[in-house]
Structure 1
Amino acid sequence: MTVKLSISVPDDVAAYLQSRGNASAAVTEAVRRVLPDARRARQRAAAHAFGEFLRSRTPEQADAARDLIESSNDIALRDAEW
């Protein structure tokens, strides 16, 4: 599926795209090169935030979370034969 977009770009970018045979392909190629980097940056930021959250918990909070996870696993695995 494709979507038609109308965008404004600086003059130098417009000149480059006009020089290409297929401007849509040029834009798609450039954006796809950037997407993995942006995704990795979001993942790193999320991992950092989660690490900060884990470090800020008190021992009591960590124990309570561990108990909750173990209880949830026991419920989920009830009558399961492994």
Structure 2
Amino acid sequence: MTVKLSISVPDDVAEYLQSRGNASAAVVEAVRRVQPQARRARQREAAQAYGAFLRERSPRQRDDDRAMIEESNDIALRDAQW
């Protein structure tokens, strides 16, 4: 189902939408990008992909990552007064 809406937009947005072949599709795409449910789905998908990437790392790669993190923390905390 679709609903026809009439909206007012700033000049720059109107110019952009008019330059698109299908202004409705551009608006739908933009709104769906910012909808909380869609954003959570993208975040969940990215987290799952990152988890899969981490699971495929070799023990040597994990050790190298751990060492890099420790060195980075040491650099970040250097001269820090606790």
TM-score normalised per structure 1: 0.61
- Are residues 75 and 35 of structure 1, via their aligned partners in 2, closer, same or farther at CA, if it must alter by over 3 Å? same
Q: Structure 2 regions of 5+ residues with no counterpart?
A: 1-8
How far apart are residue 54 of structure 1 and its match?
A: 0.7
> Aligned partner of 2:36: which letter?
P
Runs of 4+ in 1 over 6 A off after TM superposition: none
Paired residues in the alignment total 62
How far apart are residue 73 of structure 1 and its match?
A: 0.6
TM-score normalised per structure 2: 0.61
The residue aligned with 2:4 is: none
Bigger RCO of structures 1 and 2 (CA < 8 A, at least 6 apart) = 1
Which protein shows a greater Rg? 1
1:3-42 residue pairs with structure 2 within 5 A? 3-4=13-14, 5=17, 7-8=23-24, 31=31, 35-42=35-42
Counting aligned pairs with the same residue, the percent is 64
